[in-house]
Amino acid sequence: MFDDWKVTVVRIRAGDGGIDQYDEPVPGEDERVALPDALFAPTPTDLPIEAGTDATVTSPTLYWPDQWPDIKSGDRLEVDGAEWRVDGRPARWPLGLSVSLIGAHRKETS
């Protein structure tokens, strides 16, 4: 029923880059993994994020009915070619997974 509304999603997660001199993990190269298509729910845009900036902030949500893909709070997701950050922890529900996203987009100048 909602298949026409689904969008392509790619998870971008930093790989293991080892340990630094302080025994802290170091992020490695990004690993890209295709995820199942999801429903994309846009939200109103907040303008501006702070005085003196021209960025807009958008916080949509992705839904995976009857699916629970591997997504963590530190991941980035590419949704139909646009990159977003996962905002908070993904919500696991009996009927599927929902993930809040956040993205700041600068106004293009020409």
Predicted confidence pLDDT, tens digits, the chain (110 residues): 678 889 999 999 998 888 999 999 888 899 999 999 999 998 766 555 556 655 666 789 999 999 999 999 999 999 998 899 999 999 999 999 999 999 855 555 54
Domain membership of residue 110 (yes or no) is no
Specify if 33 maps to a domain.
yes
In a domain, 84, yes or no: yes
What total of structural domains would you count in the chain?
Answer: 1
Question: Domain for residue 67, yes or no?
Answer: yes
On whether residue 39 sits in a domain, the answer given is: yes
State the DSSP code for 95. T
Q: Which residues of 71-110 are buried (b: 16+ CB within 10 A; e: fewer)?
A: beeebbbbbeeeebebeeebeeeeebbbbbbebeeeeeee
Domain membership of residue 73 as a residue range: 6-16+26-45+54-105
Q: Report yes or no on 12 lying in a domain.
A: yes
Global pTM value: 0.77
